[in-house]
Amino acid sequence: MTEDEKPLGERMKLPWRQMPIGGTAFQPGSSTEYKTGDWRIIKKPVIDHKRCIMCLLCWIFCPDVSITRSPDQVEIDYYHCKGCGICSAECPVRCISMVEE
Ligand code: SF4
Ligand code: SF4
């Protein structure tokens, strides 16, 4: 067993009572390191940019901050998008389609 494969407690040489509590974020912004797009199954959102009116509702409603914006376009960050479909449901002109992966 390599050092990386050992349980966290063994690697840290800590008895379990001294291990950090699970689910605790020790640094702000660390969630960007986790590519939660791996969790997406079945469908992903795809934007039809020709029909987009840049209302930014998708950007506001995305619970995973997976829609990025520039002055003239919104894009999906597939590394973090979990495929929930909220952006597609909220788009007033229905220009975000949920398509098979
Ligand atoms: S499908 Fe969900 S997670 Fe992905 S961009 Fe749309 S609102 Fe965000
Ligand atoms: S909600 Fe639809 S129209 Fe509005 S910015 Fe997003 S993709 Fe464009």
Tell which one of 48, 93, 94, 98 to mutate to probe ligand 2, the residue whose CB is within 8 A of the most ligand atoms.
Answer: 93
What's the number of domains the chain is made of? Answer: 1
Average pLDDT, the chain: 89
* Structural domain span for residue 58: 37-101
Name, in order, each residue with C-beta under 8 angstroms of 50's C-beta and a sequence gap of 6 or more: 95
The pLDDT, as a whole number, for residue 9 is 64
- Residue-wise pLDDT for 22-61, tens only, equals 777 778 877 777 888 999 999 999 999 999 999 999 999 9
- Which amino acid is located at 26 in the chain? F
3-state secondary structure at position 34: coil
Question: pTM here?
Answer: 0.76
CATH number of the domain at 78, please.
3.30.70.20
